[in-house]
Structure formats: C-alpha cells, structure tokens
Structure 1
Amino acid sequence: MNKQAVAALDLGIVIVSYNVQALLRRCLQSIYDSIGDVSFAVCVVDNNSPDDSAAMVKAQFPQVHLIANADNPGYSTANNQGIHWLNSAFDAPPRYILLLNPDTEVMPNTFCDSVRYMEQNLKVGIMGPKLLLPDGHLDLACRRSFPSPMVSFYRMTGLSKLFPDSKKFGRYNMTYLDEDQLTEVDSVVGAFMLVRQAAIRQVGLLDEQFWMYGEDLDWAKRIKDHGWKVIYNPRILTLH
C-alpha cells in the first residue's frame, strides 16, 4: 500500500458499524460538519451489514476509508482493523485515535475542543465527553469505575439505582458526582473514546478476546496501569 504523503494527522476516527445505515449516515454527516482546524481521517469498518451500509458509505462519503468485512469478527477486532489502517496509511500515525459509535452525533466544535484539551493536558491518555441520550439525560456509561466485585454487586442488585447519590452504592457510574464536573475516572465508554497514540504504543490495541462489551474497560485499565489519566470531560458534548 502506498502511504499518503501528509503531515501527521491530529485525529484518526474509527467507526465500527453493523446494520445501522441511517444512524451511520447521520454520524458521518456530523463529523464532516465539524468546524476548526483539526486534521482527521475516518475509517468505517462494516461488519457485513445486511442493510447496504457499506454501499451507502461508498456512494455518499467517498472521503471515508471503508473496510467491508465478509463476516462479523466482533467489535474489538473491527476497531483494531481500523486503527491498523490509520496507523499505516500515512507518513506518520495520527496523534490521537477516536473510537466512535455509529449511533453518535458530534457537535461542530467537538474535535477541536477535544484535541485542544489533550494538547493542554499531556498526562491524559484517554478522554471521553458528556454523552447525552435522545431524551437529554446523561448516558451513565460515559464515566465509570472498574467493576470490582462489590461495585458489580451494588449495580446488579439495584442498590446503585436506589441510592444514586451514595458514593458507596453509586460508584460504578459515579452518579454521586455532578454530571458537569470534569473528573478523573477509571474508564469512559467506547462510544466516544479518545486515546493518545503514545498510550497505545505502550499498551497495544484492544484485546480481541472481548468480542463485544468490556473491551473499553480493559483498555482503560491497561492504560491507567501505565500511569496515564482517564478523564470525563463534560465541557465537550456528544449525542448518543
């Protein structure tokens, strides 16, 4: 493959899609409606969607690099395919990798604000934004503690819902904190997970033993274990 002779991109965006053509179209349109001077490339990895998602990307977003899988290898593997392409397609890898779900829509200033924050906070390895659900409420998964046995117990028994303001019972989704408070957390969610390339070089890619779910927590744990911070940043908004 001939490498594209461009200066190092600010941002490499990976979107894994499966059978969500309309949502994927809106997600991609929101990306290309972005403002600011952030340079980026987008790689969509389609896991053999039966709804012609791949054909839509080819026809409507020719600037997107499409990887059309012949089967569904899982979320982690597909994300790694996209990261591999982004890291090898240009003269230098993008400075940041963004895992983005196809059911998200970014704000016009999301990318420039995100990159600016990472540039100003060099110890941050992962950053996630405030994710808002269609009803306007916070997507609780966007800031999490690692699921220790007790944290998992409080969540599975419903104690976390009964006592969301309790630092003890509400620990998994950190519901005891103001949702507009910038906070160091254990993990953000893979729906929007901005990762510093230097951290990826240290810990490697997503663990493909996680077919779907849990891979973001595992990645965050490995990155934190190497001394990087994981930050929930509510000053940046994304719809989910």
Structure 2
Amino acid sequence: MELSIIILSFNVRELLLDCLKSIFQNKTGRDKWQVIVVDNASTDGSLEAAKRAFPEIEALQTGKNLGFAKGNNFAVPHIKADTILFLNPDTVVVGDVIQKSLEFLKKDPEIGALTCRVELPDGSLDYSCQRGFPTPFNSLMYFSGLSRLFPKSKIFSGYSAGYCDTATTHEIDCGNGTFLMVPKKVGDKVGWWDEDYFWNGEDIEFFYCVKEAGYRAYFFAGGKIIHFKGSSSGLWKSAKSKVPKEISMATAKHAAEAMRIFFKKHFYQNYPPVFRDLILGAVTLLEKYRLLKITVGVKHE
C-alpha cells in the first residue's frame, strides 16, 4: 500500500459520493491506495450510501460528532501506508493530482506536508491552500481589508500570501486540511491533529507543528481539486448544500475559539497583558460580527 486516503464526512452525502467517484475514476491499476471514510455521526445516510456505491472503501463510524481533528485522528490507527492524504468530502479530484502530488512528495524526505491547488467552483483559488501563519499582525492586515487592497504586498498580505506565484510549485508556511498529504513518520512525530481544536484552525496548527519539527511544507501547482467550501458549515457561498443555521452558528463559534487557541499556544507570552486583552477582545468582536451575519443570512464570501 503506497497511500492511505482519509475522508472525514459529516452530512454531505451527495458530495461524498461525488468525491469518491472522482477518486476511483482517476485511480489506475498501478495505484495502491487505501480509502478510508470516517463518518462523523451523520444523519443523512452518508456512510451507508458510500458503502453501497463503493464497497472497496473502509468505512468507520465515530458514533458522535468528534469534530475535525479528533475525527481524522480516529482513522489513524487504521492506516496501512507510509503516506497519508487527508481529503475533504466536499471536493472533486481532477485528473492525476493525487499521483503527481505523491510523486513530488516522495522525491524529497524534507517535505513534511503538501497541498495542491485548491479551486472554488468558480475557478478562483481558495487562498487557504497557500498562506502564511495568522500572527496578530497578519490577522490584523487580513481582517482590516488591507490585504485585499494590497494583495501583492508581503507586508499587508502576509496571511493570504497573494504575492506568491500560484502557477509554480513553491514552499509555504501553511496550507489547509482540504487536501493535505503527509508522510506517516511526520504525522507520528507531530502527534497528528491537535484535538484542542474542534472545527477550524486545526490545519494551521498542523502546519505550524510540521515546520517546528524541522520539515518543509509545499504548495504543489501541478494538479488541482475543486472545493465546494463550507458545505458542512454553511459559512461560504461556495457551499453546495443547505446547512441549518444552528450548525453555521456553532461553526462560527468554533472558528473564533480556534483563533484564541492558536494565539494562546504560540503568541500569548510574546505580548504584554494589555495587548493580549486587545487581541482577544478583537477576536470576540469578530465572532459577534460573524454571528450577526449568519443571523441575517449573509455568508463570509
């Protein structure tokens, strides 16, 4: 077995089936892949439908919604390959992106994490597939809108990294968990997904730990997937499924909590108390603003 693909799914039945279809349509006879679907206590019959349509998958049921980090970790004891691909269920694999990504990663033992080009349904880039870390300064530039005004500036666009050439493969600080390929030895070293995070921010933490462990992370431009972003949370316009408002509200709260967790883990001690309070207060204001938008029916993007 050369690759274990882990797909954590929550109430996106049709999207999950489309994702699996795209995987097996693009899999060749030479590819030795293990495909694991972890169902995070869906209520739409996702896992049963997936097993009927694709009996070759390995199906796991968590029993309750464990969140993204713990849900993915649930599959780790079952992996059989030396390389793992964490793949979101609301994605469509295009062509041989998995094979090319795997080939590129295996050429360099210093690569600890790799993501490919992730496009939204309109063909635009999902910025989170190649970005910087959300330091307090980078976050301020992003949420103030200055990164949009100056997308090619390394100063103002440190988080969204609009200055990078996405037509070429390059080293990055951080990608996302939508398509995350990682050697098993690296996952073992960093302890896999940090379960302090429930939903959101855990991919940033993963990349941070990979870099701290001395490995490099890469954006691979030689292939792509399509991401119907927000289909489980309902927070993005690119979502392909209707999500109950209470789910979106809970997800927005988890996103804000993820910001607090990341700041406290990595930057809290670097600032005097007054700045700590200001930063955490800003996160609370952002959380309230996002909850208000959900209440009136406005999505993030």
Give the TM-score taking structure 2 as reference length. Answer: 0.73
Q: Distance in 1 between matches of 2:218 and 2:167?
A: 13
Shift of 1:27: 0.2
The answer on 1:54 being equivalent to 2:36 is no
Q: Distance in 2 between matches of 1:41 and 1:78?
A: 17
More off after superposition, 206-215 vs 170-179: 170-179
**Quick one: which of 76, 83, 87 aligns to 2:76?**
83
Runs of 4+ in 1 over 6 A off after TM superposition: none
Q: Distance in 1 between matches of 2:166 and 2:179?
A: 17
The one-character-per-residue Cα deviations of 1:136-165 (angstroms, maximum 9, x if unpaired) are 111111001111110011011111111111
The answer on 1:101 being equivalent to 2:88 is yes
The one-character-per-residue Cα deviations of 1:76-135 (angstroms, maximum 9, x if unpaired) are 11100112211xxxxxx4111111000111123122111110121221111100111110
* % identical aligned pairs: 34
Instruction: Supply the AA of the counterpart residue of 1:22.
Output: E
Q: Distance in 1 between matches of 2:90 and 2:177?
A: 12
Q: Distance in 2 between matches of 1:78 and 1:161?
A: 34
Q: Distance in 2 between matches of 1:115 and 1:32?
A: 16
Q: Distance in 2 between matches of 1:165 and 1:58?
A: 46
The answer on 1:178 being equivalent to 2:170 is no
Q: Could you tell me whether the CA contact under 8 Å between 1:127 and 1:232 is conserved in 2?
A: yes
3-state SS of paired residue (2:176): coil
Q: Distance in 2 between matches of 1:231 and 1:183?
A: 6
3-state SS of paired residue (2:197): coil
3-state SS of paired residue (2:48): helix
Q: Distance in 2 between matches of 1:59 and 1:219?
A: 33
Shift of 1:168: 0.8
Instruction: Supply the AA of the counterpart residue of 1:135.
Output: D
The answer on 1:72 being equivalent to 2:65 is yes
Query: Could you tell me which residue of structure 2 aligns to residue 6 of structure 1?
Result: none
Shift of 1:219: 1.1
Gaps of 5+ in 2: 228-301
Q: Distance in 1 between matches of 2:196 and 2:92?
A: 28
Query: Could you tell me which residue of structure 2 aligns to residue 4 of structure 1?
Result: none
Q: Distance in 1 between matches of 2:36 and 2:126?
A: 25
Query: Could you tell me which residue of structure 2 aligns to residue 152 of structure 1?
Result: 139
Q: Could you tell me whether the CA contact under 8 Å between 2:142 and 2:160 is conserved in 1?
A: no
Q: Distance in 1 between matches of 2:65 and 2:75?
A: 14
3-state SS of paired residue (1:19): coil
Q: Which structure has more helix as a fraction of its residues?
A: 2
Q: Could you tell me whether the CA contact under 8 Å between 1:164 and 1:176 is conserved in 2?
A: yes
Q: Distance in 1 between matches of 2:78 and 2:68?
A: 16
Q: Distance in 1 between matches of 2:51 and 2:21?
A: 14
Instruction: Supply the AA of the counterpart residue of 1:114.
Output: S
Q: Distance in 1 between matches of 2:177 and 2:205?
A: 11
Shift of 1:181: 2.3
Give the TM-score taking structure 1 as reference length. Answer: 0.91
Gaps of 5+ in 1: 1-8, 87-92
